[in-house]
Amino acid sequence: MAVITLISTWLIPCFIMLVLIVATWKRVPAYELFVEGGKEGVKMAFSLLPFLVGMIVSIAILRASGALDAFIGLISPVLGFFGVPPDIVPLALVRPISGTAALGVTTELIDTHGPDSFIGRLASTMQGSTDTTLYILTIYFGAVGIKKMRYALKVGLIADLIGIIASIIIVTIVFG
Amino acid sequence: MVNIIWAAMAIVGILYAMFNGTMEDVNKALFESADEAVTISIGLISILVFWLGIMKIAEKAGILQILAKLFRPVVVRLFPEIPKDHPAMGYILSNFTANVFGLGNAATPMGIKAMEQMKELSGTDTASRSMITFLALNTSSLTLIPTTVIAIRMHYDSASPTEIVGTTIIATIISTLAAVVVDRIFYYRSIRRG
C-alpha cells in the first residue's frame, strides 16, 4: 500500500521532469509548445460548459423533485428479493448517473453503518470500482462534438450493472 | 438515446414535483445546479491548460510515440481500427496510466485528446468503434487505488481504511473485462444489422 501511494505521488512530477528533459535534449521549443497546448485547454473547457450544464440540471431536477428517491423506494424490495441489501440500492442506482450524488450516498452509508460494517465495506467497494458513466460520456463526447453516441450508453450501463453485482458477490465472499 | 434520457429525467422530475409539492425545490435546484455545472467547467480550465500544455511537449518530443510502442501489443487488440503508430494510441495509454494510479485530473485531458485524435480518424460526428471501446473502459473505472473512498473511511475512524483495496481491485477487473466483452458484443451486433 505504502509503495502504491508513493508511486502515485511521484508519478506526475517525475513524468513532467522526463518530458522537459527529453524536450530540451531534442531542442524542441518546450515553453512555446506548452502555451500552444494550453490554449486548446481553454477552448475545450468552454466547449464542455453547455454539455455539463444541460446534463447536471436535468439530473438535479430529477433528484430535487423527489422522483429519484421514490423510484428507489419502489425498486428496493424487488432487488432485495434477489439478495441485494436494500440499504445499498440507492448507491447502485445513483452511481452511473451522478458522481457527486454517489459520493454523498457512500459517505452517508459509511456514517450510518460504520466504515467496517458489511454495508460500509460494500459501499466503499462499489464507489471505487465503477465510474460515473453519464458524466464520462457527456464530457468526452461533448468535448469533441460527437452527436450520435450509438451503443456507447448501453455498453457503459451494462458494464456498471455487472460491476455492481460483482462488488456484492466479492464483498460477501471476502467479508461476509 | 441520450436525447430521450436527458429530456425524460427533466420531464419526470417536473411532473413528479407537481404532485409531490416539491416544485419549490425543483426551482431552486434548477439554478443552483446550473451554477454548479459552470463552476465545474471553469474549474477544469486549470487542469486542461496545464496537462494539454505538457502533453503537447510530450507529443512533439516523441514521448507519446515511445509509450505507444511499449504497450502496443495489448492496446492494438483493443483498438484494431487505430493505425499502430498513430498519436491516438499514445494519448489512450496516457489516459489509462493516469486512471490506474487514480489521477483522474490528469486522465481527463489526455482522454479528451485521445477522443480528438479518434475523431480525426473517423471524420464524422458519429461515435466510432474505437471511441466506444475507449469510453467503455473509462466508465467501468480503471482505478486501482480508490483514494477518495480511503479518505472517507479514515474520516469515519475505520480500523483498516485500506482493507477495501483488494475487493475494489477485483471488482474493477471484473467490471473492466465486462466492459470489453459487452462492447464487442454490441459492436458485432451493429455490423450484422448493417
pLDDT tens for A18-31 read 999 999 999 999 99
Residue from A95, A113, A141 nearest B146 by CA: A95
Note whether B162 contacts A: Cβ–Cβ < 8 A. Answer: yes
Q: Which is higher by pLDDT, B193 or A163?
A: A163
Q: Round to whole Å and give the CA distance between B38 and B26.
A: 18
Largest CA distance in chain A: 66
- The distance of B99 to chain A (nearest Cα, Å) reads 11
Handedness of CA A45, A48, A53, A56 (dihedral sign): negative
pLDDT level of residue A1 (50, 70, 90 thresholds): low
Share above pLDDT 70 across residues of chain A, in percent, rounded to a whole number? 95
- Average pLDDT of span A60-74: 88
Q: Locate the chain B residue with the closest alpha carbon to A28.
A: B61
Average pLDDT, chain B: 87
| Residue of A121, A155, A164, A174 to mutate for B, most B C-beta atoms under 10 A | A155
Q: Which of B39, B37, B17 is nearest to A61 (CA)?
A: B17
Q: How far apart are CA B74 and CA B52, in angstroms?
A: 25
Q: Which residue of chain B has the CA closest to A147? A: B125
**Could you report the per-residue pLDDT of B153-182, keeping only the tens digit for each?**
888 899 988 888 889 989 999 999 999 999
The residue among B173, B178, B171, B134 whose CA lies nearest residue B149 is: B171
Which is higher by pLDDT, A77 or A136?
A: A136
8 Å CB contact of A136 and B131: no
Phi/psi of residue B81, nearest 5 degrees: -85, -10
Q: Which residues pair with B126 in a beta bridge?
A: A148
Q: Please tell me the predicted confidence (pLDDT) of residue B75.
A: 81
Contacting A residues, span 76-95, partner chain B, CB-CB under 8 Å? none
Residues in chain B within 8 Å Cβ distance of A174: 166-167
- Option in B109, B136, B160 nearest A155 (CB): B136
Inter-chain residue contact A139 with B112, CB threshold 8 Å: yes
Query: Which pTM does this prediction carry?
Result: 0.81
DSSP character for A70? H
Interface test with A, best of B42, B52, B145, B167 (most A CBs within 10 A): B167
Cβ contact B149:A109 at 8 Å: no
CB pairs < 8 Å spanning A and B: 347
Question: Rounded to whole angstroms, what are the CA distances from B43 to B48, B141, B146?
Answer: 9, 22, 22
Instruction: Record the cell numbers describing residue A3, joined without a space.
Output: 509503495
Interchain contact B116–A (C-beta under 8 A): yes
pLDDT greater at residue B163 or residue A5: B163
User: Average pLDDT in the A135-157 region?
Assistant: 90
pLDDT given at position A32: 95
The whole-angstrom distance between A157's CA and the closest CA on chain B is 9
pLDDT tens digits, A72-127: 888 888 877 777 888 888 888 888 888 777 888 898 889 889 999 999 999 999 98
Give the whole-angstrom CA distance, residue A4 versus residue A74.
42
Residues in Cβ contact with A27 at an 8 Å cutoff, skipping those fewer than 6 apart? none
pLDDT in tens, chain B (194 residues): 667 878 988 999 999 999 999 999 999 999 898 998 888 788 778 878 888 888 889 888 888 777 777 777 878 889 999 987 788 988 898 898 878 766 666 788 889 999 999 999 999 999 999 999 999 999 887 877 787 788 788 888 999 888 888 899 899 999 999 999 999 999 999 988 86
Cell of B153: 473511511
CB contact under 8 A, A34 and B125: no
Query: Is B174's Cβ below 8 Å from some Cβ in A?
Result: yes
pLDDT of res. A170: 92
State the CB neighbour count (10 A cutoff) for residue B138.
26
> If DSSP codes are grouped into helix, strand and coil, which group holds residue B144?
coil
List of chain B residues whose C-beta atoms are within 8 Å of the C-beta of residue A23: 57-58, 60-61
Q: Which residues pair with A148 in a beta bridge?
A: B126
**What per-residue confidence (pLDDT) applies to B144?**
74
Q: Which three cell numbers stand for residue B141?
A: 473505472
Give the chain B residue whose CA is nearest to the CA of A174: B167
Please indicate if any CB of chain A lies within 8 Å of the CB of B188: no
Grid coordinates of B72: 502496443
Q: What residue type is A141 in one-letter code?
A: F
For an interface test with B, give the residue of A53, A65, A105, A165 to mutate (most B CBs within 10 A): A65
